[in-house]
Structure 1
Amino acid sequence: MDDNKQLSRRKFLGYLGTSTAYLAVSSMGLGSFGKRANASEASRSLFDFSTIKVSDSFNPTRDTAVASDDLVLSSGFKYEVIAAYGDTINTKGDTFGDNNSYTVFFPQDGSHVEGLLWVGHESTNELFLEDGNQQRHLTSAQQRSLLYNQGASILKVFRNEKGLWKMDTKSEYARRITGLDAVELTGPVRGTKAVHHATRVQGTLANRGGGTTLWGTVLTCENQFESTCRSTGLDPIHYGWVVEADPYDANATLRKHTALGRFNHGNVTMGLSTDGKVIVYMGEDAEDACVYKFISSNKFDPARGKANSELLNDGKLYAANKATGQWVELTIEAVIQSIKNPRYTIPSILNQTRESLVEIFKEQADVFVYAREAAIIVGATLSDRPATVTINPQDHTLYIAYTNNGRRGNLHGQIIRFFEKNNNLGATEFSYEIFAVGGPQSGFSSPGSLAFDTKGNIWVATNIASSHLNSGAWAEFKNNGLYVIPASGSTKETRQFASAPFDAEFDGVSFTPDEQTLFVTVKHPGETTEERVKLTSTWPHRFGDNIPRSALVAISGSAF
């Protein structure tokens, strides 16, 4: 077959019979099929639409949608499992966490084939804890395991002479960050009554999305933290923050930046205003939620290096009012003015009385701790799960993946594009447009995370709930997928690049600098399993394994 010819969805499925066995072999690191590419082929961008056609325009029908308990790729591509839940990552015996999410690759000395990989861990399936959870309450050992398997893994990875990606488990950089570590609180909430006077708290958990800073560190987002807090007895006020970590320095202090607000953080992305201030955009991963923005008080100074982290301690926090096109500042004065105004009707979604809100909001620290409530009170727009925000590196517009909201009848979600006034990320006014609407007309449902490649193409990982997959309004989409919207922005040209295993979804899309390798995470395969003796997925199909495992994979052309 000529790989330069477009591959139709029907042909894509037709190759499934042979590719399933092929992918299982490659995922175990036993080798790769195909001959090595010549120098000119190896140097070109792997994901350049002008040279490699991923698939035809996506127009799904029931007989061509993919449902398989495997990671299925367009022809000409292969995947390798670099690390899966429970794998040893270093000489200390640390193991890879569960339900991996956000990834970012830090090249070593500019290398395309060697560097550090940050991998966030969003949650732990209690059924698949080391000794299983067959009890109503977790034992102390299970609670520790629950916390240990969240947080993040920092891996040293390289591509060997056979073209296979491997972990360097002997690297001094390979380590875990978990829900058991000590983490400092920074900024306006540190030591206040709002956080029960804490200056240091236990661990970071529920780490879904993330972003990188302008000074080379990682910001990891605490998302759906509530259930873990209930299972372990941790104070929920200490979670739901953005945490900064330095992948290159195991001795660096982990910091929760309270000036960025506390809520179910979906992800975070950073940029600069025209006058040099640090801008941080954040999405809230909830059915009725807001979009937030932080503007630092002081300016970024490249010469200060990692000391620029202090910029995240002081600034203004805003939430978007889409009706007025305003970023509304979250201040204690504005909140109190609203809740004490007898003409103001308390929104029912807050499930609070006027009297209880008066007791909650006493000082500015309370606004950061209860940022969601404050945003709603001052008039920010509730939206349908704005889980992921990302800045288009080519024009600095903001793209937001609104996953879905069944309560409002928005089953398939959409992607919305924000335009800051005068193209200044520090502006307090914006306009927006609907960039893409999920559903049969666009070929994908429930956009969960977004990433741009250097060509300006948008990679969309979908997040249909595992309980909805292959049924009802979502039946035609089959399993969750990874899609590409070309830089032209026409959803009619959207192509499906990959299909996830049963119950799973993709996340953590990132590239090596030359885009010859795509890293992606596969999380919660087999999530709907109710009993370990009756698994709904066994991916990644390791010999002798008795549970499904979330995993980090590397995807590349089969020539490598």
Structure 2
Amino acid sequence: MFVYNPADGGFYYSPVPVYHPHDQTPYWADQSEERARQRFHQFRPIKHSTRDQLIVPRGYKYDIVASWGDDLGNDEKFGFNNDFTCYFGNNPNDGVLWVNHEYIGNLSMYVTGYTGEGERTPEQIRIEKYNVGGSVIHIRKGTDDGKWHIVKGSRYNRRITANTPIELTGPARGDAAVQGATAVTGTFANCSGGKTWWNTALSGEENYEGIIKDWAPAGELDPTHYGWVVEIDPLDPNSIPKKHTALGRFAHENAVMTVGRNGRVVVYSGDDANDECVYKFISDGVYRRDAGKENSRLLEEGTLYVADFGSGRWVPLDLEKTPALREKYRTQGEVLVNTRAAAKMVKGTPMDRPEDIEIHPRDGSVYIALTNNIEHGNYYGQIIRLVERNNNHESVNFDYEIFAAGGPQSGFACPDNMAFDSAGNLWVTTDISSGSLNEGAYRHFGNNGLFMIPTAGRDRGKAFQFASGPVQAELTGPWFTPDEKTLFLSVQHPGEETEDPDNPTSRWPHGDIPRPSVVAISRK
């Protein structure tokens, strides 16, 4: 039986170096066995499940932190289909949580009453626009019951929606490719994201095209205003979000940040679609810790690269550095608005749905989740590990390997969101589509789950299941508190294949209609 060393409140133990997200150099974790036993404890992996429950290992519990429609105070409600989560604050029991709200989809029958017949009414569109984007929620762990809850009416609580004014930055700002826009209306299709070194959230706009079609059949929404990485400051209620066009326009899954050897900010992002590419951005300027949130300007100027896995080279999507792009594009803004097409021009490698990308806290290697590519016979997906030359994230050359492959023998399929703990274990959620769960090629896997995969030692690359989601749900957005005693997790779209609103395929979490929710998992 696979177990981890016992202790009193964390999730795992492995004596390895830890990389602090606000320092430029690694520091070494205390490798004392005695200290480790005071911090970490064991869990026994669960089995696959098809039950309509969120299942966690024996000895663990979960609290529902927020469900769709919950009152935040300040005349705001928690949005729908929560996805990425990101915790802010050094206090592990009291902080601010950023939560993405991706889309409405088939469960609109509960949100607006729309059942898929005909076009949506203006009122239904208004409600849908409010329920996507993101939520900023002040949350606190109760001193009496130990349960996490929303601090209603907190000055931090607010919504960012499809109606929120958002500033454009970078080369495409004011460019003809975005019809001269310097600001746009709203964000939606917010999938995963990341955290900046200056303590703001990054949110990736992913599958925006279908939503635009649903809301604006006559073409009122400009597609070039969406598909960007959005920066939000959850700790400043008066701040205006920004879309950083220098990071490219495509179906952003997430945006993970680090700093290279020369101090430049580096952001990795995957384009979540069949045969699309992996990208990284390197800033022109250098990160300065004392500059605080002024460092946000580093995301406005720099170079976007696409990965060529055949040559192990990052190819710049830049008119000056790659003159071949001038055959089709006149401005750098035009290149970035058309990132996908530009990547194909310079032979960026088509991949099997690149989703989450995360950076190992020990050695800086880059882990990339490739969910699947059924059109090419890849049903189960894989996770690859990319190593930059000289371990420098500013390098334009790299090597890579297959770290873990999905399938019946490995016990997981379709890796999606990922997170590292400070010991270097990789936590991976799965994304088998709701209509395929427990059928055909996926009959072996049960419902979607959360898995822990060690990256070192004798169990390197082996998946151990930690959680199983309700029927037709996807588990997304894993994020730990600073003391790693609480794991936040989104339970997205339970009952997504429901056809009759009176007979939902899932009744999680309250036994009535399905409600997407964020949970906090901890030891009992």
TM (norm. structure 1) is 0.84
Name the structure 1 match of 2:166: 183
- Matched residue type, 2:411: G
- Matched residue type, 2:514: P
CA displacement 1:155-179 (0-9 Å, x = unmatched): 1111112111111012110111111
Name the structure 1 match of 2:56: 73
Contact 1:54 1:496 in 2 (8 A): no
Equivalent of 1:111, from 83, 86, 91? 91
Give the whole-Å Cα distance in 2 for the aligned partners of 1:510 and 1:245: 17
Q: Does 1:54 align with 2:39?
A: no
Structure 1 residues 42-191: aligned runs within 5 Å: 42=8, 44-48=9-13, 52-55=41-44, 65-90=48-73, 92-107=74-89, 110-125=90-105, 127-134=108-115, 135-161=117-143, 162-191=145-174
- Matched residue type, 2:276: A
Structure with higher Rg: it is 1
Structure 1 residues 312-461: aligned runs within 5 Å: 312-332=299-319, 337=324, 358=328, 361-461=329-429
CA displacement 1:364-409 (0-9 Å, x = unmatched): 2111001011111111100001111111111111000001110111
Give the whole-Å Cα distance in 2 for the aligned partners of 1:131 and 1:464: 26
Provide the secondary structure at the position in 2 that maps to 1:454.
Answer: coil
Give the whole-Å Cα distance in 2 for the aligned partners of 1:305 and 1:129: 42
Give the whole-Å Cα distance in 2 for the aligned partners of 1:128 and 1:391: 39
Give the whole-Å Cα distance in 2 for the aligned partners of 1:311 and 1:338: 24
Q: What is the deviation of 1:487?
A: 3.7
Distance 1:121 1:420, change over 3 A: same
Number of residues paired by the alignment?
490
CA displacement 1:138-164 (0-9 Å, x = unmatched): 111111111111111111111112111
Equivalent of 1:522, from 479, 491, 495? 491
Q: What is the deviation of 1:243?
A: 0.6
Gaps of 5+ in 1: 8-39, 59-63, 341-357
Give the whole-Å Cα distance in 2 for the aligned partners of 1:328 and 1:129: 46
Contact 1:242 1:258 in 2 (8 A): yes
Give the whole-Å Cα distance in 1 for the aligned partners of 2:274 and 2:62: 33
Q: Does 1:200 align with 2:183?
A: yes
Q: What is the deviation of 1:93?
A: 2.3
Structure 1 residues 428-507: aligned runs within 5 Å: 428-488=396-456, 490=459, 493-507=462-476
Name the structure 2 match of 1:249: 236
Gaps of 5+ in 2: 15-36
- Matched residue type, 1:274: R
Give the whole-Å Cα distance in 2 for the aligned partners of 1:174 and 1:65: 37
CA displacement 1:444-476 (0-9 Å, x = unmatched): 000001100011111010001111100011101
Give the whole-Å Cα distance in 1 for the aligned partners of 2:320 and 2:120: 43
- Matched residue type, 1:106: F
Contact 2:404 2:461 in 1 (8 A): no
Q: Does 1:549 align with 2:515?
A: yes
CA displacement 1:79-138 (0-9 Å, x = unmatched): 111111111112x2211111111111112xx31111101111111135235331034111
Give the whole-Å Cα distance in 2 for the aligned partners of 1:145 and 1:522: 21
Provide the secondary structure at the position in 2 that maps to 1:303.
Answer: helix
Q: Does 1:238 align with 2:221?
A: no
Contact 1:529 1:536 in 2 (8 A): yes
Give the whole-Å Cα distance in 2 for the aligned partners of 1:249 and 1:388: 27
Name the structure 2 match of 1:343: none
Distance 1:338 1:368, change over 3 A: closer
Give the whole-Å Cα distance in 2 for the aligned partners of 1:293 and 1:505: 27
- Matched residue type, 2:358: T
Contact 2:319 2:326 in 1 (8 A): no
Contact 1:66 1:478 in 2 (8 A): yes
CA displacement 1:193-233 (0-9 Å, x = unmatched): 10011111110111111111111111111011111111222
Give the whole-Å Cα distance in 2 for the aligned partners of 1:529 and 1:85: 17
Name the structure 2 match of 1:215: 198
Distance 1:300 1:336, change over 3 A: closer
- Matched residue type, 1:128: M
Equivalent of 2:477, from 508, 516, 519? 508
Contact 1:129 1:145 in 2 (8 A): no
Q: Does 1:268 align with 2:255?
A: yes
Name the structure 1 match of 2:32: none
TM (norm. structure 2) is 0.90
Give the whole-Å Cα distance in 2 for the aligned partners of 1:213 and 1:196: 29
Q: What is the deviation of 1:492?
A: 6.4
Name the structure 2 match of 1:28: none
- Matched residue type, 2:523: G
Q: What is the deviation of 1:334?
A: 7.5
Give the whole-Å Cα distance in 2 for the aligned partners of 1:452 and 1:128: 36
Contact 2:175 2:334 in 1 (8 A): no
Give the whole-Å Cα distance in 1 for the aligned partners of 2:48 and 2:418: 22
Distance 1:339 1:316, change over 3 A: closer
Distance 1:442 1:471, change over 3 A: same
Give the whole-Å Cα distance in 2 for the aligned partners of 1:446 and 1:524: 17
- Matched residue type, 1:509: P
Distance 1:410 1:275, change over 3 A: same
Q: CA RMSD in A?
A: 1.9
Contact 1:291 1:319 in 2 (8 A): yes
Contact 1:455 1:487 in 2 (8 A): no
Name the structure 1 match of 2:34: none
Give the whole-Å Cα distance in 2 for the aligned partners of 1:334 and 1:217: 31
- Matched residue type, 1:212: K
Name the structure 1 match of 2:211: 228
* Larger fraction in helix: 1
- Matched residue type, 1:65: H
- Matched residue type, 2:390: N
- Matched residue type, 2:313: Q
Give the whole-Å Cα distance in 1 for the aligned partners of 2:292 and 2:332: 29
